Structure 1
């Protein structure tokens, strides 16, 4: 069976950056299971998998626009340390949930200078070119319920 919309796909992958450093991998773990066409994975990888079958291996380079997007400068803001009530120490790399007009959003501390803290609301991989080594492990037709819910159920997927 070829990968197409409404397929449940299991893949093993290794994700590296342009320097060849491993960012994430499923090797030695359970494969990643997703519903094709439901935007469960980044667009560039999903598009590259269309038409592939069990046993196929491929290398995919995903540019930022088809991955986690370009860095959006408006998502980087300086805030006063007083906004962090109850937090004694604030260090670069710490993550917090921020209230935004569109709901809660994770932000990462990228600079602490005096009483000012710079937060970045971009995805940590925004602006990055991503390289995937992928092996297709399994492909099956999604159930009606999986299609309605927009994600995989059962082993490797979501459990209600």
Structure 2
């Protein structure tokens, strides 16, 4: 039975970028989600639509259907004084509240004696995603 909208799906996956495993839940409990409600990245959800319980597929999700294309405008440089009291490290993720109360995350990409560069893109933005997916249950 193929997947239909609003069904509960259990899924195991392995995610590779450039042949390197970056995430996986193989050997652990599957993720559970309701199909068609936007809980998965759009490109992956679209590509599992015709899968059946017990089926395994390799799926390629282009960046624009995954975490989006990398946007240079989402990187900014700020004075180091704005980060007083923080032991800044390249790769660390900082959280901040917007004026509307939304929490945003930024990755520190460069630290100099005077400035800090932070990137608001998702860490996987601009990456094509190679998934191996197994549908373990359709409820």
TM norm. shorter chain > 0.5: yes
Question: 2:94 maps to what in 1?
Answer: 96
How far did residue 110 of structure 1 move? 0.4
Q: CA RMSD in A?
A: 1.2
Question: 1:2 maps to what in 2?
Answer: 2
Question: 2:28 maps to what in 1?
Answer: 29
Query: What SS does the aligned partner of 2:44 have?
Result: helix
Q: Distance in 2 between matches of 1:4 and 1:121?
A: 34
Residue 67 of structure 1 pairs with residue 66 of structure 2: yes
Residue 129 of structure 1 pairs with residue 128 of structure 2: yes
Q: Distance in 1 between matches of 2:132 and 2:85?
A: 43
- Encode CA deviations 1:41-89: one digit per residue, 9 max, x unaligned: 11111001112111111110000110000111221000111111322x2
Residue 83 of structure 1 pairs with residue 98 of structure 2: no
Question: 1:53 maps to what in 2?
Answer: 52
Q: Distance in 2 between matches of 1:101 and 1:110?
A: 24
Which structure 1 segments of 5+ residues have no match? 141-160
How far did residue 99 of structure 1 move? 3.1
Q: Distance in 2 between matches of 1:29 and 1:125?
A: 23
Question: 1:156 maps to what in 2?
Answer: none
Residue 16 of structure 1 pairs with residue 54 of structure 2: no
Question: 1:44 maps to what in 2?
Answer: 43
Q: After TM superposition, where is structure 1 displaced by more than 6 Å over at least 4 residues in a row?
A: none
How far did residue 91 of structure 1 move? 1.2
Question: 1:151 maps to what in 2?
Answer: none
Aligned residues: 138
How far did residue 3 of structure 1 move? 0.7
Query: What SS does the aligned partner of 1:65 have?
Result: helix
